[in-house]
C-alpha cells in the first residue's frame, strides 16, 4: 500500500469527454491516492491494554504500574512487529495503553492478536477549529465601547445567576484548545496559582500542525492563533472591562491545555494525553471546542471522553460546523456517548458600528464592523457603478478615466468576484476605504483581506449610488465614539445554519444541547487585537462549560452532580423554532438537541426530570416504550400535565437518490404520535412520580427518504416547564445503501479502479506495481460503515455481489439479498485493507467527498501477493449489520487485476 510519499495526480485524459456527457461533479484530477479514508493517520494506532491490575496474579497496588506496557512491547517484539512508542497512557480505570507508529500498518492484525490488548484504534487527525466567521478588532484601546453585549447571558438566564453572586468560584475548568493569552488583562494578566488561569501545559509547541512531531513545554501561551483565548473569554472574562462583557463563569479557575500550534490540526493521541492530564490535575470540567466529521461514537478520544464523563466530570465538546452537508454528519469526539455535544444558536444582536451621512438627510448607516473604521476625515463618496443592479461591480480593472480614489469612500456592489478582487481593483486607483453593499445574499461578516472595507445593507447602498448618480454631494464620516449599535439579527435566536446535524450513525442523541455560538464578542490575544466577534460551535461549547461550573458552584463538585448535569440541562432547556415564521415546526432535535440551555432553571429548579433523552433508534430496533420520572425535591406538592410537542421531521435523503440532503434539510409533515400512562399527576414534596410514554413513528412516510423524527414530552404547569427529548428514524438503517454506485461524481459508476494514466480500468489489466503502475480503488460512502474490507479473491470466484449490477436503481430498491450463508463462507485469498467505523462522504470535493485507496501487491499481514490474476472484493457492512453475516455487507467485485511484478 502506497502512503503519502506516493501521492500522485490522476489526469484521466481519456475520460474527459465522457465526464462532460454525464456532467459529473468532481474533476477526475481531484483523485489523490491515499492509504486510509478520511482523517485516519497512516501507520499510527492507539493500543488499549488491560489494566495491570486485571492481569491474573498481579497485586492491585492502586499505583501506576508500567507492567502492562512492558508486556505489550515484549509481545510486539516476539512477533517481529516494528514499532515506535509515541506516547504512553496510564490512567487506571480510564485508559491504559500506548500510541504507537507501526513500521508496517499491516501488522495491526498481529497487535490485535496479543492477549491483553483490548482495542487497536487508528490515530485520527482533527483539523484546526475553524470559526465560521472572525472579525478581529483593530485597536484594543479604542474609546468606542459597544454597549452591554450580554445578550447571550440574558437569553440563557446566566445574568440572573450572576445577579445572585453565582460565578463558578471554586470550580476548575480545563480548556483543551490552542492555548490562552493569559497576559490579557481581562483574563487576569498572568498565569499561576492565585490567578484566574491557574496553570497549563503546552503539549505541542508553536510549530506543530498535526503532521509533525510535537515539541511540548510547560507554557500554554498563545499569541499566534487566538481560538483558545476567545473560548477562555466566553468562560472567564472578568466583568470590569471596557467592553462590558463577562464570562459565564468568571469566578472559575481555568487551566490551559494547548493541543494546537499556530496553524494546522492535531492527532487524537495528543487529545487523550490532554484529557487524562486534566483528570489527574483535578479539573471538574474539560472542554474541547474541536472535532472532525465522523458520525461514529468510537474514536479513541470519544471513548476516553465518555469514560471521563461517566466518572462524574463534565466533558463539553463542539457538535461541529458541518451543518451545510446534512444529517448524520456529527463530529467526533463530540459524539462521545456520555459527553455533552453542543450545538450553536445565533445571538439575537450583533455589535456593529454606525456611520454618519453628511450632505443629504439619511439615517445612520450600520456597517459590519465591531469597531469604527480608523478614518477621521469625512469622505465624499465615489460609486464604481451608477447602476445599483450591476452584477459584477469592480470585478475588472476600473476604467482609465477613474479619478484618484485616495480621497474618497468607494461604494461597490457585492457579487460575482471576491471582495478582495474588487478591493484590489479599487486599490489600483488609489482607493483606501470602501463600503460594499449587499446584493440580497445577506448582511454578514466578509473577508476583505487587509483592506479597510466591509458590508452595508442593500437599501443603504442603493440610496448612496442613486444620490451619487444624481450628482448630490454626499459624504460619510465614521465617528470614533458613541457609534456602536446592537444590530438586531433577523436570524438571531435560531439554531445556526452551520451547526452540525446528528444523530450518530448508531442513533445516539447528538447534539445534546444548544448555546449561543453565532456572533459572540470575546477576548483575543493582545497582539491580535484583544477583542473580536466569532461564530461557531466552538463558541457555544465553552458557554456550556461555564454553565456547568455555575452548577458545580451551587451544588458542589461531586461526581453525582457531574453525571446528572446533562440531564438537568436537557430537561430544563428552551425549545427553539426552525424559523421566525408563525406555524413553522420546532427545529429538529437532530439540530438543536434538547434546546437552548436555561442555566437558571437547570440550577434552581426543585423538580428533577430524568432521563433527558429517549433514544428510539430505527424501526428494526425500535424502543417504543420509554419510562421517565419526575422527582419533587421542593417543599410543596406540585401538579403537572403531560403532553407531546413534536419537532420537525427531517427528510434526510434527496428523493430518488442515496444522497443526503444538503442544508437546509427539508421537513416532512408527518410526526410521531405518543400516548402516556398518565396525562396529569401531582407529585408530593420528596416524592417521585414514574410515567411511561408509548411512541408510534410517523405514519405514511417514505422510509427511503430516511425521515428523522423527534420532539419533546412536555411536563408543565402554569409556572414551570420541563421536557424529555426524543429522537428516532422511520427506516431500518440496515436497509440504507452504504456504497455509492452512481456515476454522479466521476461520470462512471463507482466503485471503480483507476490507473496512473487517468483511465478507469473496466477490463482485465496487468500491473507491475513498480512506480506508478498500480491500481487505485475509487469509492464513496453514501452512509457510514462500521467495517470496510478490501480482499483479494480468485479471478474465477463464484460470488453474487450486491453492487455489480450496473442498472440497479440507486435508492428506491434497497438491496435485500436474503440469501442464507455466513461471512466466513466467502473464500478470499487474503485481506488487503480493513477499516473500522468509516464516516460517510460529503458531496464536497474537499477531501471528504470520496475515498481513493492505492492498492499494493501486498496482503494486510505484509506478505507479498504472488504473481497471478485476481479480483478485488470490496465489502462494506451496513449500519446495524452483523459482521458475521455476509448478507449484511454490500459487496463489489473489481475487473480482473493481474499482478505481474518483476522478479
Ligand X SMILES: *[C@@H]1O[C@H](CO)[C@@H](O)[C@H](O)[C@H]1NC(C)=O
For the bound state, the minimum distance from the C-beta of residue 646 to ligand X, rounded and expressed in Å, comes to 20
Round to the nearest angstrom and report the end-to-end CA distance of the chain.
Answer: 19
Are 426 and 405 spatial neighbours (Cβ–Cβ below 8 Å)? yes
Nearest residue by C-beta to ligand X? 830
Q: How far apart are CA 539 and CA 770, in angstroms?
A: 50
Q: What DSSP element (H or E) covers 305?
A: helix 300-310
Buried b (16+ CB within 10 A) or exposed e, 480-508: beebbbbbebebbbbbbbbbbbbbbbbbb
C-alpha cell at 82: 516494528
Smallest distance, ligand X to C-beta of residue 614, A: 10
Lookup: cell for 770: 513498480
Nearest distance from C-beta of residue 845 to ligand X, angstroms: 19
* Contact residues: ligand X, CB under 6 A: 354, 363-364, 366, 374, 376, 391, 414-416, 439-441, 449-450, 483, 485, 506-508, 615, 617, 621, 638-639, 717-719, 764-766, 830, 859, 861, 863, 880, 898, 900
When the beta carbons of 218 and 719 are compared against ligand X, the nearer one is 719
Residue 307 contacts by C-beta under 8 Å, 6 or more apart in sequence? 93, 94, 95, 338
Q: Which is nearer to ligand X, 68 or 507 (CB)?
A: 507
Q: Which is nearer to ligand X, 507 or 590 (CB)?
A: 507
- The nearer residue to ligand X, 4 or 861, going by C-beta atoms, is 861
Return the active site residues: 177, 227, 538
Q: How far apart are CA 857 and CA 870, in angstroms?
A: 11
Least distance (Å) between residue 831 CB and ligand X: 7
**DSSP H or E segment with residue 469:** helix 458-470
Taking the complex as a whole, the smallest distance from the CB of residue 111 to ligand X amounts, in Å, to 14
State the chain's maximal CA–CA distance in angstroms: 94
- State whether the Cα torsion 540-541-543-547 is positive or negative: positive
Q: Which is nearer to ligand X, 535 or 617 (CB)?
A: 617
721-732 burial, b at 16+ Cβ within 10 Å, e below that, comes to bbbbbbbbbbbb
Grid cell digits, residue 249: 463563569
Helix (H) or strand (E) holding 833: strand 830-838
What is the nearest approach in angstroms of ligand X to the Cβ of residue 807?
26
Q: What would the grid cell of residue 229 be?
A: 483565548
Single out the residue of 664, 620, 810, 645 nearest to residue 722, CA to CA.
645
Query: Which residue number, 335 or 483, has a Cβ lying nearer to ligand X?
Result: 483
- Closest CB 172 distance from ligand X, rounded Å: 31
Burial of 311 (0-12, 13-18, 19+ CB in 10 A): middle
Q: Which is nearer to ligand X, 450 or 798 (CB)?
A: 450
Which residues lie below 8 Å from residue 729, measured CB to CB, with a gap of 6+? 503, 507, 617, 618, 619, 652, 706, 707, 708, 709
Q: Cβ of 896: how many Cβ atoms within 10 Å?
A: 16
Q: How far is the CB of 143 from ligand X (least distance, A)?
A: 10
Helix and strand counts by DSSP (H, E) for the chain: 14, 46
Integer Cα distance of 376 and 432 in angstroms:
13
Strand pairing of 95-102 and 117-126?
Answer: unpaired
Nearer to ligand X, 189 or 830 (CB): 830
Our CA dihedral for 287, 293, 296, 302, rounded to 10 degrees, sits at -20
Shortest CB 366 distance to ligand X, Å: 5
The residues with which 706 forms a beta bridge, in sequence order, are none
User: Alpha-carbon distance 598 to 157, whole Å?
Assistant: 6
Pick from 758, 766, 761, 764: nearest CA to 901? 766
Residue 205 or 898: the one with the smaller Cβ distance to ligand X is 898
Amino acid at each position: 500500500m502506497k502512503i503519502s510519499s506516493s501521492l500522485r495526480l490522476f489526469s484521466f485524459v481519456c475520460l474527459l469527454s465522457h465526464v462532460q456527457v454525464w456532467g459529473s461533479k468532481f474533476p477526475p484530477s481531484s483523485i489523490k491516492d491515499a492509504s486510509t479514508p478520511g482523517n485516519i493517520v497512516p501507520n499510527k494506532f492507539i493500543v488499549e491494554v488491560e489494566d495491570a491490575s486485571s492481569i491474573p496474579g498481579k497485586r492491585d497496588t492502586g499505583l501506576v504500574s508500567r507492567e502492562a506496557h512492558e508486556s505489550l512491547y515484549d509481545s510486539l517484539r516476539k512477533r517481529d512487529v516494528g514499532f515506535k512508542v509515541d506516547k504512553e497512557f496510564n490512567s487506571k480505570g480510564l485508559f491504559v495503553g500506548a500510541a504507537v507508529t507501526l513500521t508496517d500498518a499491516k501488522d495491526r492484525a498481529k497487535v490485535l492478536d496479543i492477549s491483553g490488548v483490548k482495542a487497536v484504534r487508528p490515530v485520527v487527525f482533527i483539523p484546526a477549529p475553524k470559526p465560521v466567521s472572525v472579525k478581529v478588532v483593530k485597536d484594543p484601546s479604542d474609546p468606542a465601547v459597544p454597549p452591554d453585549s450580554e445578550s447571550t447571558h440574558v437569553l440563557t438566564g446566566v445574568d440572573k445567576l450572576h445577579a445572585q453572586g453565582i460565578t463558578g468560584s471554586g470550580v476548575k475548568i480545563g480548556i483543551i484548545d490552542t492555548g490562552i493569552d493569559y497576559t490579557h488583562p481581562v483574563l487576569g494578566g498572568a498565569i499561576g496559582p492565585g490567578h484566574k488561569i491557574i496553570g497549563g501545559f503546552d503539549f505541542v509547541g508553536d510549530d506543530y500542525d498535526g503532521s509533525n512531531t510535537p515539541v511540548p513545554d510547560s507554557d500554554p501561551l498563545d499569541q499566534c492563533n487566538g481560538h483558545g483565548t476567545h473560548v477562555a473569554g466566553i468562560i472567564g472574562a472578568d466583568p470590569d472591562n471596557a467592553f462590558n462583557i463577562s464570562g459565564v463563569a468568571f469566578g472559575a479557575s481555568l487551566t490551559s491545555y494547548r493541543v494546537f500550534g499556530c496553524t494546522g490540526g492535531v492527532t487524537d493521541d495528543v487529545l487523550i494525553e490532554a484529557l487524562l492530564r486534566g483528570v489527574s490535575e483535578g479539573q471538574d470540567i474539560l472542554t474541547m471546542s474541536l472535532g472532525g466529521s465522523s458520525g461514529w461514537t468510537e474514536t479513541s478520544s470519544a471513548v476516553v471522553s465518555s469514560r471521563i464523563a461517566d466518572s462524574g466530570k463534565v466533558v463539553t465538546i463542539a457538535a461541529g460546523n458541518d451543518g451545510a452537508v446534512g444529517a448524520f454528519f456529527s463530529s467526533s469526539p463530540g459524539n462521545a456517548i456520555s459527553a455533552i455535544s453542543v450545538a450553536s444558536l445565533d445571538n439575537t444582536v450583533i455589535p456593529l458600528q454606525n456611520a454618519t451621512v453628511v450632505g443629504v438627510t439619511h439615517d445612520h448607516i450600520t456597517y459590519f464592523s465591531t469597531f469604527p473604521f480608523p478614518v477621521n476625515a469625512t469622505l465624499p463618496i465615489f460609486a464604481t457603478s451608477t447602476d445599483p443592479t450591476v452584477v459584477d461591480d469592480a470585478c475588472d480593472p476600473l476604467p482609465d478615466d477613474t479619478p484618484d480614489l485616495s480621497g474618497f469612500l468607494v461604494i461597490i456592489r457585492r457579487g460575482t468576484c471576491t471582495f478582495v478582487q474588487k478591493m484590489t481593483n479599487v486599490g489600483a486607483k488609489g482607493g483606501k476605504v470602501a463600503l460594499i453593499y449587499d446584493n440580497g445574499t445577506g448582511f454578514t461578516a466578509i473577508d476583505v483581506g487587509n483592506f479597510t472595507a466591509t458590508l452595508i445593507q442593500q437599501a443603504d447602498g442603493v440610496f448612496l449610488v442613486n444620490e451619487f448618480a444624481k450628482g448630490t454631494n454626499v459624504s460619510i464620516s465614521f465617528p470614533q465614539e458613541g457609534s456602536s449599535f446592537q444590530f438586531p439579527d433577523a436570524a438571531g435566536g435560531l439554531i445556526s445554519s452551520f451547526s452540525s446535524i446528528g444523530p450518530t450513525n448508531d442513533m445516539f442523541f447528538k447534539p445534546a444541547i444548544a448555546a449561543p455560538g453565532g456572533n459572540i464578542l470575546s477576548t483575543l490575544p493582545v497582539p491580535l487585537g484583544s477583542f473580536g466577534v466569532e461564530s461557531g460551535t466552538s463558541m457555544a461549547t465553552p458557554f456550556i462549560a461555564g454553565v456547568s461550573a455555575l452548577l458545580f458552584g451551587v451544588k458542589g463538585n461531586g461526581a453525582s452532580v457531574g453525571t446528572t448535569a446533562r440531564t438537568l440541562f436537557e430537561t430544563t432547556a428552551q425549545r427553539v423554532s426552525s424559523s421566525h415564521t408563525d406555524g413553522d415546526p420546532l427545529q429538529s432535535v437532530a439540530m438543536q438537541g434538547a434546546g437552548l440551555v436555561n442555566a437558571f432553571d437547570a440550577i434552581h429548579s426543585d423538580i428533577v426530570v430524568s432521563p433527558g433523552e429517549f433514544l428510539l433508534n430505527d424501526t428494526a430496533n425500535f424502543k417504543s416504550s420509554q419510562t421517565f420520572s419526575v422527582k419533587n425535591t421542593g417543599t410543596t406538592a406540585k401538579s403537572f400535565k403531560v403532553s407531546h410537542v413534536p419537532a420537525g421531521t427531517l427528510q434526510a435523503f434527496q428523493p430518488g437518490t442515496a444522497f443526503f440532503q444538503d442544508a437546509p434539510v427539508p421537513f416532512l409533515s408527518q410526526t410521531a404520535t405518543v400516548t402516556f400512562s398518565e396525562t396529569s399527576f401531582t407529585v408530593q414534596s420528596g416524592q417521585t412520580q414514574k410515567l411511561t410514554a408509548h411512541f408510534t413513528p410517523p405514519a405514511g412516510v417514505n422510509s427511503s427518504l430516511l425521515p428523522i423524527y423527534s420532539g419533546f414530552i412536555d411536563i408543565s404547569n402554569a409556572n414551570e416547564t420541563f421536557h424529555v427529548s426524543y429522537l428516532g428514524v422511520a427506516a431500518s438503517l440496515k436497509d440504507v445503501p452504504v456504497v455509492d454506485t452512481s456515476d454522479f461524481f466521476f461520470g462512471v459508476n463507482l466503485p471503480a479502479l483507476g490507473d496512473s494514466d487517468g483511465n478507469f480500468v473496466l477490463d482485465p489489466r496487468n500491473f507491475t506495481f513498480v512506480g506508478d503502475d498500480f491500481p487505485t480503488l475509487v469509492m464513496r460512502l453514501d452512509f457510514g460503515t462500521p467495517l470496510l474490507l478490501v480482499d483479494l479473491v480468485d479471478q474465477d470466484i463464484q460470488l453474487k455481489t450486491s453492487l455489480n449490477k450496473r442498472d440497479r436503481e440507486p435508492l428506491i430498491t434497497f438491496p435485500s439479498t436474503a440469501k442464507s450463508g455466513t461471512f466466513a463462507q466467502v473464500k478470499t485469498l487474503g485481506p488487503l485493507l480493513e477499516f473500522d467505523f468509516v464516516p460517510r462522504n460529503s458531496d464536497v470535493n474537499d477531501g471528504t467527498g470520496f475515498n481513493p485507496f492505492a492498492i499494493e501487491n501486498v496482503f494486510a499481514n505484509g506478505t507479498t501477493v504472488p504473481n497471478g490474476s485476481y479480483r478485488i472484493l470490496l465489502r462494506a457492512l451496513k449500519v446495524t449489520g452483523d459482521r458475521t453475516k455476509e448478507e449484511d455487507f454490500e459487496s463489489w467485485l473489481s475487473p480482473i487485476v493481474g499482478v505481474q511484478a518483476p522478479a
